[in-house]
């Protein structure tokens, strides 16, 4: 029999519901593993054994009484630290919020609690989700379970790594320009970035409001679908949220026969590793064997995605992060003699380099005289890119692309070259610009045995279609079943 930490969340929940396993027993397995391995991996920024076990006992009762009977009842979920869970810290990987405890639950957390899903702890993230490596976190980098000398990707690196290492069967991440899909790809797990507005952002600490989306990370696409089905849908606390018609059963029925899939691996100005490209092309062949019609497409506008995305995201971030002014909560510098000094010192000391870079850039972009030149122009580019996708979707059902042009880089390699790091976001940021749904699925390994992922992009609210195709792929190719082979207790990958 599989060990508990090797099971999917849906499997664990089934066993809990039929009495084969106890909720507390299962929670304890993950708590133990986190205790054992997280000292090295650094996936979690907060985990409290007592709280988890207490909640697990309640959930166990609820399962017995029939109160919790859902697909994920009794399972544990790790939550990225930019999502508010009542009475737990919500630090966003930043010094400026390191002492902030959320006084309320995000809507997604309320929905999970209503389903009897147990919050295991908070996971590491790039500061305010700004980064692609989880190295900009105030709490230090998370390590990639496949190779401890490498980054797990980011910004949801803590969530992806903890699922990959079996410290949690499920996690919530957030995706603004690729922050769910890219770490999933680097860590060999599955993730879904929903259509913008499909999941409530209430209680998600904003980075770039018009892109941010919460989504599931799991071992396979089935679990992603199960978690998504719990958190999606209209929320009256988020005016931008939408009604969603999503059926788990329909979604996880393998279905790709007759679908038209566009393959996109190159664009002008983009660099891509040969290993990544061939893995994606191989995946396209597998889809073809499964009965899909596959055709290469080009999308010249991909070149403009990174600049457009960073202009809009940084501008919004500069405003969203302005509330951390040391007046009401969060880090406060000492011995300030005026309000201005309080702002300047606290923010200078409280924010890390990447957050500062984006705040400064955003403020510049919104300054008098520049708004029209940059922000408004970037909004136009966004509209154009959105229309380009919709034009392609007139002839195709899905688009397959690499998630990132490379596999996980070495720790420290990216931060020295931020521009290169930004440019690697082209495939994923394009999807956020167009507000589309996309999943990331493991599809192979590079010569260093590092996981590669592809991205499957669908039409607005076509999550079922994406998941159905991903499921068909999973059943044909079993990349998702490979666990990391590293000695997780430390000692590197040698």
CB 193 within 8 A of CB 437: yes
Residues 6+ apart with CB under 8 A from 104: 84, 86, 203
Q: Does 78 bind another protein (CB under 8 A)?
A: no
Tell me which residues in 299-318 interact with another protein (CB under 8 A): 315-316, 318
- Quote the CA–CA distance of 265 and 166 in Å, as a whole number: 31
Across the strands, what pairs with 192? 439
| Matching residue, tokens 């309080």 | 342
To another protein, the closest distance from the beta carbon of 204 in angstroms equals 6
To another protein, the closest distance from the beta carbon of 135 in angstroms equals 22
Q: Does 119 bind another protein (CB under 8 A)?
A: no
Q: Does 84 bind another protein (CB under 8 A)?
A: yes
- Among 69, 99, 240, 448, indicate the residue that binds another protein (CB under 8 A): 240
Number of residues this chain uses to bind another protein (CB under 8 A)? 42
Please pick, among 91, 155, 414, 493, the residue that the annotation labels catalytic.
155
- Quote the CA–CA distance of 384 and 433 in Å, as a whole number: 10
- Active-site residue flag, 328: no
Q: Does 319 bind another protein (CB under 8 A)?
A: yes
Q: Does 236 bind another protein (CB under 8 A)?
A: yes
- Quote the CA–CA distance of 54 and 48 in Å, as a whole number: 10
Report the residue number, 159 or 241, with the smaller CB distance to another protein.
241
CA 345: distance to chain centroid?
Answer: 32
Report the residue number, 346 or 428, with the smaller CB distance to another protein.
346
DSSP sequence for 332-379: --SS--SHHHHHHHHHHHHS-HHHHHHHHHHHHHHSTTTIIIIIIHHH
Helices 377-392 and 426-433, interaxial angle, to 10°? 90
- Active-site residue flag, 80: yes
- Among 375, 393, 427, 479, indicate the residue that binds another protein (CB under 8 A): 375
- Site map for another protein, 94-113, x if CB under 8 A? ---x--x-xxx-x-------
- Active-site residue flag, 386: no
Q: Does 237 bind another protein (CB under 8 A)?
A: yes
Nearest to 12 by CA among 164, 87, 118, 110: 118
Measured torsion, CA atoms of residues 406, 411, 417, 421, in degrees rounded to the nearest 10 = 40
Q: Write the secondary structure of 440-460 as one string of H (helix), E (strand) and C (coil).
A: EEEEEECCCCCEEEEEEECCC
Tell me which residues in 160-219 interact with another protein (CB under 8 A): 201-206, 208-210
* CB count in 10 Å sphere of residue 57: 14
To another protein, the closest distance from the beta carbon of 104 in angstroms equals 6
Q: Does 256 bind another protein (CB under 8 A)?
A: no
Q: Does 366 bind another protein (CB under 8 A)?
A: yes
What does DSSP assign to residue 436?
Answer: -
Report the residue number, 29 or 359, with the smaller CB distance to another protein.
359
Q: Is 383 helix (H, G, I), strand (E, B) or coil?
A: helix
Q: Does 384 bind another protein (CB under 8 A)?
A: no
Q: Does 343 bind another protein (CB under 8 A)?
A: yes
Please pick, among 94, 132, 164, 179, the residue that the annotation labels catalytic.
179
Q: Does 338 bind another protein (CB under 8 A)?
A: no
| Matching residue, tokens 């952002």 | 201
Active site residues: 80, 155, 179
Site for another protein, rule CB under 8 A: 83-84, 90, 92, 97, 100, 102-104, 106, 201-206, 208-210, 236-240, 315-316, 318-319, 322-323, 325, 327-329, 339, 343, 363, 366-368, 371, 375
């Amino acid at each position: 029999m599989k060990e508990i930490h090797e099971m999917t969340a849906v499997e664990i929940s089934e066993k809990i519901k039929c009495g084969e396993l106890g909720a507390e027993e299962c929670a304890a397995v993950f708590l133990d593993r986190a205790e054992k391995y997280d000292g090295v991996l650094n996936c979690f920024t907060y985990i409290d054994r007592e709280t988890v076990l207490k909640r697990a006992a309640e959930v166990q009762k609820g399962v017995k009484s029939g109160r919790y009977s859902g697909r994920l009842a009794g399972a544990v979920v790790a939550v990225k630290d930019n999502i508010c869970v009542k009475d737990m810290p919500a630090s966003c990987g930043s010094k400026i919020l390191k002492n902030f405890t959320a006084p309320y639950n995000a809507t997604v957390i309320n929905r999970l609690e209503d389903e009897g899903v147990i919050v295991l702890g908070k996971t590491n993230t790039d500061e305010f989700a700004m980064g692609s490596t989880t190295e900009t976190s105030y709490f230090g980098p998370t390590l990639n379970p496949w190779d401890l000398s490498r980054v797990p990707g980011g910004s949801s690196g803590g969530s992806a790594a903890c699922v990959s290492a079996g410290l949690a069967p499920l996690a919530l991440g957030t995706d603004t320009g690729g922050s769910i899909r890219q770490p999933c790809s680097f860590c060999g797990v599955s993730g879904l970035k929903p259509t913008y507005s499909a999941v409530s952002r209430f209680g998600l600490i904003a980075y770039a409001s018009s892109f941010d989306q919460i989504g599931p990370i799991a071992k396979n696409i089935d679990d992603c679908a199960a978690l998504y089905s719990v958190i999606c849908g209209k929320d009256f606390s988020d005016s931008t949220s939408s009604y969603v018609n999503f059926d788990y059963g329909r979604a996880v029925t393998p279905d790709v026969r007759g679908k038209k899939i566009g393959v996109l691996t190159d664009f002008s100005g983009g660099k891509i590793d040969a290993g990544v490209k061939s893995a994606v092309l191989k995946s396209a062949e597998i889809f073809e064997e499964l009965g899909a019609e596959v055709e290469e497409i080009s999308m010249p506008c991909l070149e403009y995605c990174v600049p457009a995305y960073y202009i809009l995201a940084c501008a919004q971030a500069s405003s969203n992060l302005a509330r951390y002014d040391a007046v009401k909560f969060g880090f406060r510098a000492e011995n300030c003699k005026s309000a201005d000094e309080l702002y300047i010192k606290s923010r200078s000391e409280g924010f890390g380099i990447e957050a500062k870079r984006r705040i400064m850039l955003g403020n510049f972009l919104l300054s008098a005289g520049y708004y029209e030149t940059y922000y408004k122009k970037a909004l136009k580019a966004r509209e154009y890119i959105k229309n380009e996708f919709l034009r392609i979707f007139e002839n195709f059902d899905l688009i397959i692309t690499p998630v990132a042009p490379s596999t996980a880089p070495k720790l420290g390699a990216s931060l020295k070259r931020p521009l290169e790091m930004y440019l690697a976001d082209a495939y994923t940021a394009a999807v956020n610009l167009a507000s589309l749904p996309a999943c990331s699925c493991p599809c192979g390994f590079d010569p260093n045995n590092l996981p590669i992922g592809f991205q499957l992009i669908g039409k607005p609210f076509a999550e079922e279609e994406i998941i159905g195709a991903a499921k068909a792929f999973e059943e044909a190719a079993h990349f998702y079943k490979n666990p990391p082979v590293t000695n997780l207790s430390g000692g590197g990958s040698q």
